[in-house]
């Protein structure tokens, strides 16, 4: 018998007759999958859809006819047709008499799981038909969320109110009911992460992405949060007592010791960037804006030293910056590449600036700082605030400074609240064999660590990225999960090792209080995957779930995980 063929179901002739056809190319039976495809001239198969009414939505297999059957059970319903539009379940009905959509939704909520309840139910006078007398789904009207006839159930309590307010901000829509499903009103996995971050910060309760996926209906999610008394977190960062010295955050410690290894003359941990202006900037206004920027953000006035055998940070007052002005004909990119210079972490400000006047009468302002006081998100804050200050705007001083966050994190690490995070990572890597990847290097590895290297960048076209986004949306995952899954498979192909471990930086700004703070918040999360013989779509969803779990537990410092695991690497030798 040929590969991929079957004799049918054992001792179940009727089912075999229903699900199989005789193999037109030889012996055996061929299974009818229910997929509708077309054969392309090059021999490839183009997937069109399903012959039956089964769809896969957000990881669930749904038979749309089951939804219609439950709708038809409701008194007063004559006809019903259910479709999927933009990853949303939409039902269209013909009624015998006036009915209550609210009561119909309640009926469906009692009869169907939450992920099968239609987000939109539209009453029509008649269903559009094609020339064969069948429902023409393409002619069904598009669902409108802001429908005046929509029955909006108001918040029952403060948690309902907070969830709806945050969803309005994230999804940029109004008219949200507590009976709405998060996914039905346009939510996806990325929105879910954002929502959980805000809810955890505002409510002081640990809200995970899994909570949202398991309880997408707003009122159900609210009830879960209300009952989560055991998941209370200290999510409010308060001001630390004024001191001459403050502890370093875990991220700062990581940078501090790594910087010490690379040496004082290294620029490995410099963070540089620039703003190109179309006009010539006024030097006095630039200097004034930079000094006000330093006064506004204490990170630039922070210095680092040792005290009692531990690295500490201290914040200086009245720190000023001097910057150079130069007219040049050099290429802007060359200026950016040559600008970084080593920093002395014991001297403030940890910020350098230079203004170049280019030959086309434009201005290039270059800024150079150190990773121990800024991260990638900080650059956007710095450039935004500089432009506002240069234009004479007043910016209110943030009540918190980065040192307050560092002090809070130190208390958090020593509190019982960190234990569930520790248990998650311990269980994730329990019994793990940490073996270096057997990559096919062109040259033997040196025993001496070097920071010499380069990077290669590839830019995807708008069409290519749009295609990736479409794949992500159809599988309800992020584009990050697609790239990560591809990297797993690539490394597996190169090394033939079925367990791959990848480290990934995470922004770490999981608290509303630090969104506008300049500082180093990045934490590394460790992602590992065992490559199995499975469909790539299923693998992709599995990777996405792993990422969400890792993000939910990311406040656990990377260096603590290294210490807990007591990793002993096993390297391949050539």
pLDDT given at position 406: 96
Question: Which token pair is 143?
Answer: 């669902």
Q: Are 79 and 99 in contact (CB under 8 A)?
A: no
Contacts of 70 (CB under 8 A, 6+ apart): 107, 108, 111, 112
Question: Can you tell me the mean pLDDT for 117-132?
Answer: 83
pLDDT at residue 10 in the model: 77
What is the Cα–Cα distance from 368 to 357, expressed in whole angstroms? 18
Residues with Cβ within 8 Å of 340's Cβ and at least 6 positions away in sequence, in order, are 267, 270, 272, 368
Residue 462 confidence class, pLDDT cut points 50, 70, 90: confident
Instruction: Tally Cβ neighbours within 10 Å of residue 107.
Output: 17
Residue scoring higher pLDDT (265 or 249): 249
- CB neighbours of residue 153 within 10 Å: 15
Looking at residues 217-235, what average pLDDT do you find? Answer: 74
pLDDT number for residue 146: 46
Contact between 389 and 295 (Cβ < 8 Å): no
Residues 91-111 pLDDT 10s: 999 999 888 887 898 888 888
Rounded to an integer, what distance in angstroms lies between the CA atom of residue 381 and that of residue 386?
A: 8
How far is it, in rounded angstroms, from Cα 511 to Cα 508?
Answer: 8
* pLDDT score of 12 more than 80: no
Beta strands 351-358 and 324-328 are: parallel
pLDDT, position 34: 67
Q: What is the pLDDT of residues 508-524, one digit of tens each?
A: 887 778 888 999 999 98
The radius of gyration of the chain from alpha carbons, rounded to an integer in Å, stands at 29
Round to whole Å and give the CA distance between 85 and 278: 45
pLDDT of residue 209: 76
Q: Which one, of 99, 119, 100, lies nearest residue 109 by Cα?
A: 119
Q: Rounded CA gap, 176 and 196, in Å?
A: 18
Mapped to the 3 state alphabet, what secondary structure does 522-546 carry? CEEEEEEEECCCCCHHHHHHHHHHH
- Name the band, by pLDDT with cuts 50, 70 and 90, for residue 147: very low
For residue 441, give the 3-state DSSP assignment: coil
Q: For residue 322, count other CB atoms closer than 10 A to its CB.
A: 10
User: Is the pLDDT assigned to residue 570 strictly greater than 50?
Assistant: no
CA separation for the pair 79, 357 (Å, rounded): 72
Query: pLDDT digit string (tens) for 435-450?
Result: 888 888 888 877 777 7
Beta-strand (E) ranges in 212-287?
A: 246-247, 270-277
Q: What is the average per-residue pLDDT within 63-78?
A: 90
Q: How confident is the model at residue 572 (pLDDT cuts 50, 70, 90)?
A: very low
Residue 149: is its pLDDT beyond 50? no
pLDDT surpassing 50 at residue 466: yes
């Amino acid at each position: 018998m040929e590969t991929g063929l079957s004799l049918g179901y054992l001792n179940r002739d009727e089912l075999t007759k229903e699900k199989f056809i005789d193999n037109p190319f030889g012996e055996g039976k061929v299974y009818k999958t229910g997929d509708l495809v077309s054969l392309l001239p090059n021999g490839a198969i183009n997937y069109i859809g399903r012959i039956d009414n089964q769809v896969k939505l957000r990881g669930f297999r749904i038979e749309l006819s089951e939804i219609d059957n439950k709708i038809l059970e409701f008194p007063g319903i004559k006809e019903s047709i259910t479709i999927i539009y933009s990853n949303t379940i939409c039902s269209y009905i013909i009624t015998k008499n006036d009915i209550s959509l609210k009561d119909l939704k309640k009926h469906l909520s009692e009869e169907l799981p939450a992920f099968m309840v239609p987000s939109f139910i539209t009453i029509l006078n008649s269903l559009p038909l094609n020339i064969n007398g069948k429902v023409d789904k393409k002619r069904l009207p598009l669902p409108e969320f802001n429908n005046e006839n929509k029955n909006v159930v108001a918040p029952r309590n403060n948690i309902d109110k907070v969830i709806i307010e945050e969803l309005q901000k994230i999804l940029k829509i109004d008219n949200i009911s507590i009976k709405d499903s998060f996914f039905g009103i346009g939510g996806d996995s990325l929105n879910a992460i954002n929502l959980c971050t805000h809810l955890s910060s505002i409510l002081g309760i640990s809200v995970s992405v899994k909570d949202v996926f398991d309880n997408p209906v707003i009122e159900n999610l609210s009830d879960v949060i209300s009952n989560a008394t055991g998941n209370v977190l200290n999510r409010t960062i308060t001001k630390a007592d004024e001191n001459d010295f403050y502890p370093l955050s875990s991220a700062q410690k990581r940078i501090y010791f790594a910087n010490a290894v690379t040496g004082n003359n290294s620029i490995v941990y410099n963070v540089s960037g620039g703003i190109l202006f179309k006009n010539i900037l006024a030097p006095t206004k630039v200097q004034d804006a930079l000094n006000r920027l330093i006064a506004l953000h204490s990170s630039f006035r922070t210095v680092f030293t040792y005290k009692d055998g531990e690295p500490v940070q201290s914040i200086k007052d009245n720190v000023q910056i001097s910057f150079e002005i130069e007219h040049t004909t050099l290429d802007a990119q060359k200026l950016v590449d040559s600008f970084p210079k080593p920093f002395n972490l014991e001297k403030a400000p940890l910020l350098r600036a230079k203004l170049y006047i280019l030959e086309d009468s434009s201005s290039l302002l270059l800024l150079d700082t150190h990773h121990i006081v800024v991260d990638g998100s900080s650059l956007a804050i710095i450039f935004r605030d500089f432009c506002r200050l240069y234009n004479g705007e007043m910016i209110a001083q943030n009540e918190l400074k980065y040192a307050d966050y560092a002090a809070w994190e130190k208390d958090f690490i020593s509190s019982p609240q960190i234990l569930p995070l520790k248990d998650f990572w311990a269980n994730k890597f329990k019994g793990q064999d940490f073996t270096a990847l057997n990559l096919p290097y062109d040259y033997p590895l040196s025993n001496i660590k070097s920071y010499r290297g380069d990077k290669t960048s590839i830019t995807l076209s708008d069409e290519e990225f749009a295609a990736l986004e479409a794949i992500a949306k159809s599988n309800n995952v992020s584009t990050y999960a697609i790239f990560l899954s591809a990297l797993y498979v690539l490394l597996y192909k190169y090394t033939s090792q079925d367990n791959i471990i990848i480290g990934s930086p995470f922004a770490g700004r999981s608290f509303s209080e630090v969104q506008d703070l300049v500082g180093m918040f990045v934490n590394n999360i460790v992602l590992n995957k065992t490559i199995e013989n499975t469909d790539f779509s299923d693998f992709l969803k599995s990777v996405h779930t792993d990422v969400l779990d890792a993000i939910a537990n990311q406040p656990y410092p990377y260096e603590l995980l290294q210490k807990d695991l007591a990793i002993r690497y096993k390297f391949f030798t050539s």
